[in-house]
Chain A
Amino acid sequence: MTTLSPARLPAWAHTALRLLAIAVVFGIAGYGVGWLLAERFPDAGALPDFRWADLAAGGLALVLVVAAVSTLIASLSPVRLGRLLKLEGPAGAREISDARLQALVFGLSGVIMAMPMAIAALGVSPLAGLLAVGVLLAIHTALNLKAWRGGDELIRRVVTDSASVTFWLGQGLLFVWAAAERLGAAPVLTAWDAYVVLMGLYLTVSMVMTIRRGLA
C-alpha cells in the first residue's frame, strides 16, 4: 500500500494546500474582524451598497495582503526564501531585506486599495479619510522608490515592461469603453471603476512578467 506523503505531492498540490491553509486562516481572521467591527459600531446600520468595482477592489486588496503575508512568512526562513526566489542555496541578508520591503509594499497597496470603501462604510469624514489615504500613499511611494533604487536592471526591466504593457492594454480597454459609453451602449464609468480595472490589469501583467523573467 502506498501512502501519500507531502513530499510526494506534486507542486500544484503543495500550492493548493498552501492556498487552502491561507484561505482558512484569513477566513477566520476576516470573520473575527467583521464580528469585532459589528460589536464596536452597532449603530453603523446597513453597509453602503457595494458595486462591482468595490467587490473587485476588495478582492484585489485581499490578494495583495495575502501576497504580503506569504512573502513575509517566506522571508522568515532563508532556505524557503531561497527556494522561492530560485536561488542556489539559502537567501542572504540582502535578499531577505528586499523580500520584506516587497511584502511591505504589497501589504500597504492592499490597505490603500480597501481604504475608500472602509472609510465610506465607517462613516469617517471624507476630508479625514482622504488625508489618511494621502499619508499612506506618500509612504507607499517612498517605499516604491526605495525598491526601485535598490533594484538592479532586471527588477527595473520588469517594472518598466509591466507599466508599458499595462498602459497599452489599459488605453485600449478604456477607448473601447469610452466609445461604447459615448454611443450610449455602455453605462457611465466612474474614476473608481476605471482605477480598479487598471490596478487589476497591472497586477495581472506584473505577475506574468515576474514569472516570465524567472523571478517567481
Chain B
Amino acid sequence: MNNRLKVLRAERNWSQAQLAEHLGVSRQTVNALETGRYDPSLPLAFKIARIFEQPIESIFSE
C-alpha cells in the first residue's frame, strides 16, 4: 500500500517527532509508515486522516 504521509507532513512543516506525538506512536513507526514498511491499523489510519483533515482514501492507495 502507498501513502502520502511524507508529503502531507512536509506541507505542514512537521517533523517526524511532531507527527508521532499527534498520533501517539513512536518516530520509528512514523518512519516505517512513510517508507511503506508498515501499513497502519484501521484506528491509526482514521487518526491520520483526522489529523490531516483528509479522507483515508486520499492518503492511502493500493
Q: Are A214 and B16 in contact (CB under 8 A)?
A: no
> Which residues of A are found within 8 Å of B35, using beta-carbon distances?
214
Q: Are B44 and A153 in contact (CB under 8 A)?
A: yes
Q: Are B29 and A153 in contact (CB under 8 A)?
A: yes
Tell yes or no: B51 within 8 A of A by CB. Answer: no
Q: Are B28 and A87 in contact (CB under 8 A)?
A: yes
A183 to B45, CA, bound (A): 52
Q: How far is the CB of B8 from chain A (nearest CB, A)?
A: 16
Interface string of B3-39 (1 = CB under 8 A from A): 0000000000001110000001111110110010110
Determine the residue in chain A with the shortest Cβ distance to B37.
Answer: A214
Q: How far is the CB of B35 from chain A (nearest CB, A)?
A: 6
Number of interface residues of A (CB under 8 A): 19
Determine the residue in chain A with the shortest Cβ distance to B27.
Answer: A87
A29 to B51, CA, bound (A): 52
With known contacts A92-B17, A214-B35, A153–B41 Cβ distance under 8 A:
yes
> Which residues of B are found within 8 Å of A85, using beta-carbon distances?
27-28
A135 to B37, CA, bound (A): 38
With known contacts A92-B17, A157-B38, A86–B25 Cβ distance under 8 A:
no
Number of interface residues of B (CB under 8 A): 17
> Which residues of B are found within 8 Å of A89, using beta-carbon distances?
15, 17
Q: How far is the CB of A81 from chain B (nearest CB, A)?
A: 11
Q: Are A152 and B32 in contact (CB under 8 A)?
A: no
> Which residues of B are found within 8 Å of A95, using beta-carbon distances?
26-27
A212 to B36, CA, bound (A): 11
Q: Provide 16 A-B residue pairs closer than 8 Å at the C-beta atoms, listed in order of the A residue.
A: A85-B27, A86-B31, A88-B16, A88-B17, A88-B31, A89-B17, A94-B26, A152-B25, A152-B26, A153-B40, A154-B28, A154-B32, A212-B37, A213-B37, A214-B28, A214-B38
A-B CB proximity, top 4 nearest: A214-B37, A154-B29, A152-B25, A214-B32
B-contacting residues of A (Cβ < 8 Å)? 85-89, 92, 94-95, 98, 151-155, 157, 212-215
